[in-house]
Amino acid sequence: MSLTFDVRRNPTPASEERRAAIHANPGFGVFFTDHMVRAVWTRSGGWGDGRVEPYGPIQLMPSAAVLHYAQEIFEGLKAYRHADGSVWSFRPEANAERMQRSARRLALPELPTEDFLGSLRALLAVDEPWVPPAGTGETSLYLRPFVFASEAFLGVRPANEVTYCLIASPAGAYFSGGLKPVTLWISQHYARAGAGGTGAAKTGGNYASSLAGQLEGIEHGCDQAVFLDSSTQTYIEELGGMNLFFVTRDNRLVTPELTGTILEGVTRSSILELAKDLGLDPEERRIPIEEWKEGVASGEIREVFACGTAAVVTPVGELRWEGGSAPSTAGESGGEVTNAIRSALLDVQYGRSEDTHGWLTRLA
């Protein structure tokens, strides 16, 4: 039986003026809507106690397993308002299924797809006015589902009590500089994930382990770090929060193949499908970091970009490493192919072009 969500309305919701002020300048991940969804799973009873309740602090025992052993997963997707006022999300089933795969890797219970989608609809039923108005550029409502071990127990084993939450946050551009190419640092001392580890799962630990590399990059004047395979330090993996793509001189669109250590990005897989519509030849394979350095020098690599739900498609500029750098191929605001892919994705998401792949699901 599918989960139901009892609604307990926030007695002090934000005023219309406050919401409008947030929509005018949402930033990323700073402001949150009036409500959240919560459900609890127990080993004996399965999923239950679904509710929509006022957004606010979660009470946890200091011994809650997630705080000690990081048994946690999350997702990220967006709700977009179309010109007719309707609200849509982009391939939410793909997020639901990825959350199930992440759950299996982290020994957490799987939330069925219909309950994942049900929770999105339940939250949007009360917080729909928080989806930014159409025609305000690239603003959307970022949806953050997450699952964590809430059982108060310090033994190391899969938790017997787990909590699912969904929160939502109006979002503008992920990078505060707007659509400016990001400079990348090759992380040679720190890996993000290793063979057999949790790299393909969307779990907080992967993001935590990317931070030291990112800090090192910032110390070298870069915006983000690019991680290499931990076994040989040879092959390009991802940025920690985004997948990478290369556009070649002969219109191939090349991205690191999924090896189990890379996040299976929904934006990544959508771009691989869109590539064909745009006359590009998609290619998934292992890409040595040397190929990037040499390809920029020889002109074989025309453009590099990063992608993810939050930042959509972001041009990549200069690549730096200890003792060297490769110049940007991105110009002031990204190459032609990068921007064509970015527009093609956004046009589908905001309902400005036909959804020929059947990627949109109406939420409100």
Nearer to ligand COI, 87 or 310 (CB): 310
End-to-end alpha-carbon separation of the chain, Å? 23
Nearer to ligand COI, 92 or 308 (CB): 308
The span from the CA of 5 to the CA of 53, in Å, is 9
**Shortest reach from residue 241's CB to ligand COI, in Å:** 4
**Shortest reach from residue 15's CB to ligand COI, in Å:** 28
Of all residues in this chain, which one has the CB nearest to ligand COI in the complex?
308
**Shortest reach from residue 74's CB to ligand COI, in Å:** 8
Q: What angle do CA 266, 272, 276 make, to 5 degrees?
A: 145
Nearer to ligand COI, 306 or 364 (CB): 306
* Site of tokens 């917080």: 127
**Shortest reach from residue 246's CB to ligand COI, in Å:** 19
Residues in the chain: 364
The single-letter DSSP state of residue 260 is S
Nearer to ligand COI, 33 or 206 (CB): 206
Tokens of 309: 């739900």
Burial of 185 per CB tally in 10 Å (0-12, 13-18, 19+): buried
Nearer to ligand COI, 95 or 150 (CB): 95
The span from the CA of 246 to the CA of 255, in Å, is 6
**Shortest reach from residue 222's CB to ligand COI, in Å:** 17
Binding-site ranges for ligand COI (CB under 6 A)? 76, 241, 308-311
Q: Are 169 and 302 in contact (CB under 8 A)?
A: no
